[in-house]
A and B are shown apart, each in its own frame.
Chain A
Amino acid sequence: MVNYIWLFMIVSGVAAAAFQGEMDVVTQAALKGAKDGVAVCMGLISILVFWLGMMRIAQDAGLLKALARLLSPVVRFLFPDVPRDHPAMGYILSNMSANLFGLGNAATPMGIKAMEELQKLNPDPKTATPAMCTLLALNTSSLTLIPTTMIGLRMELGSANPSAIIGTTIVATFCSSLAAICLDRWFRGRMARRIQT
């Protein structure tokens, strides 16, 4: 599916440029995109280095295991095929709690760590497992309690009540996360049935 979306964006972009007779826009846009991609990764380095360091302390101190045990009913429901005491559980939980508190920067390294642990359970390292899809679904629908960036932006723009959107955001994010979990379950079940037959 990513293959098609990717191809679709490029081909329709080139077609649009050809239609307008401005082919050079494509080249410029491509170079700009490539530059942005590297810039984002460079920005990620500092965050990854810092939070992965903190996470290692938490792991060595047994914090991740404690967290996983505390919230295991939730995670066991969401990730039925990950063994109970697997290190992935702790990372998944830290990722979820970081997202919940709107610490997007801190959530990424933990999510990546969780993916690495899930990859160890993966029989085919090139193909995602259902557990990986669930983790991704949880992250793309981003269960958020405090939309910090938006509140800040509204404050800057002179809103009378910048945090007025917290309530609506919580309801909306809850709906999209619920949808993500249900859809994930549905696709997972459909795939399992297809393999059986």
Chain B
Amino acid sequence: MMQTISFLSAIMIPALLAFIPLYGLSRGVPVYESFVEGAKDGFPTAIQIIPHLVGMMVAVSIFRETGALQFYLSLFKPVLTAIHFPEEVLPLGILRPISGAGALAYAENLMATHGPDSFLGRLAATMQGSTDTTLYVLTVYFGAVGIRRSLYAVKVGLMADLAGVLASWMVVMWVFGL
């Protein structure tokens, strides 16, 4: 089962790359011209996102580099100790929704320090793999079409992240034990 899934994911892109143009050709689509026509949208879309992403990454960078993130983490520690949540993993849970690269670096650090097959290592990998960088996704998707007011999207995203963190913790405990 696992082999099948990893195999599928490895061949997915090459298969799509061959299938889409071939199918297009069979339907009489001028494939190359069609590709170029669609590809033209890529550049302006990326440019449109720049101000949004710069704004967000400046804030995230300041928040992290000045030690503000560390400070808030230290506030949460007593609560975590009370519910037996491994405190080493907390920074990852908080970084995950705000900074993809930061979370990845932290997850790697956790796995390298405690070993990829330790409880913490598996928990870090599961948490990192099961959620996405909410603020980044929000910035890119809404930024691309110029949405300013995001309604309840941020709340839903962050609450779902919290659910993901808790679910990762519980399922890793359940499957691998402490």
> What mask results when residues 12 to 48 of chain A are scored 1 for a CB within 8 Å of chain B, else 0?
1111110010100110111011101110111011011
A147 within 8 A of B: yes
Between A and B, 27 residue pairs with Cβ closer than 8 Å are A5-B135, A12-B72, A13-B64, A13-B65, A13-B66, A33-B58, A33-B60, A33-B62, A36-B61, A37-B50, A37-B54, A49-B39, A49-B43, A52-B39, A54-B21, A63-B24, A128-B142, A146-B5, A149-B104, A149-B129, A153-B125, A158-B116, A159-B116, A163-B6, A164-B122, A184-B156, A188-B152
> What mask results when residues 37 to 66 of chain B are scored 1 for a CB within 8 Å of chain A, else 0?
111011101110110011111111111111
**Shortest 9 CB-CB distances between A and B: which pairs?**
A56-B38, A147-B129, A33-B61, A176-B164, A49-B42, A53-B39, A175-B167, A37-B54, A179-B163
| Number of B interface residues in the complex (CB < 8 A) | 103
When the two chains form their complex, are residues A179 and B160 in contact, meaning their CB atoms are under 8 A apart? yes
- Report the bound CA distance from A22 to B62 in whole Å: 12
CB distance from A7 to the nearest CB of B (A): 8
8 Å CB contact of B66 from A14, A42, A176: A14
Looking at chain A's contact residues, the main secondary structure is: helix
Which of B26, B27, B112, B130 has the most chain A CB atoms inside 10 A of its CB?
B130
When the two chains form their complex, are residues A13 and B63 in contact, meaning their CB atoms are under 8 A apart? yes
> What mask results when residues 88 to 127 of chain A are scored 1 for a CB within 8 Å of chain B, else 0?
0000000000000111001011011001101100000111
A148 within 8 A of B: yes
When the two chains form their complex, are residues B6 and A41 in contact, meaning their CB atoms are under 8 A apart? no
8 Å CB contact of A44 from B36, B46, B101: B46
A74 within 8 A of B: no
B127 within 8 A of A: yes
Chain B residue with the shortest CB-CB distance to A135: B141
Looking at chain B's contact residues, the main secondary structure is: helix
Which of B21, B36, B116, B122 has the most chain A CB atoms inside 10 A of its CB?
B116
CB distance from B132 to the nearest CB of A (A): 4
Contacts of A44 in B (CB 8 A): 46, 49, 140
Chain A residue with the shortest CB-CB distance to B154: A1
Chain A residue with the shortest CB-CB distance to B172: A168
CB distance from B5 to the nearest CB of A (A): 6
When the two chains form their complex, are residues B116 and A168 in contact, meaning their CB atoms are under 8 A apart? no
When the two chains form their complex, are residues A127 and B148 in contact, meaning their CB atoms are under 8 A apart? yes
Contacts of B20 in A (CB 8 A): 54, 57-58, 61, 63
- Report the bound CA distance from A6 to B26 in whole Å: 49
8 Å CB contact of B59 from A10, A150, A161, A162: A10
B13 within 8 A of A: yes
Q: A56-B39, A57-B21, A127-B147 are in contact. Are A34 and B57 (CB under 8 A)?
A: yes
- Report the bound CA distance from A37 to B24 in whole Å: 36
CB distance from B71 to the nearest CB of A (A): 6
When the two chains form their complex, are residues B130 and A172 in contact, meaning their CB atoms are under 8 A apart? yes
Chain A residue with the shortest CB-CB distance to B21: A57
CB distance from B49 to the nearest CB of A (A): 5
When the two chains form their complex, are residues B142 and A150 in contact, meaning their CB atoms are under 8 A apart? no
Contacts of B53 in A (CB 8 A): 37-38, 40-41
CB distance from B24 to the nearest CB of A (A): 4
When the two chains form their complex, are residues A148 and B66 in contact, meaning their CB atoms are under 8 A apart? no
- Report the bound CA distance from A1 to B159 in whole Å: 13
> What mask results when residues 127 to 156 of chain B are scored 1 for a CB within 8 Å of chain A, else 0?
111111111011011101111111111111
Q: A13-B68, A33-B57 are in contact. Are A172 and B167 (CB under 8 A)?
A: yes
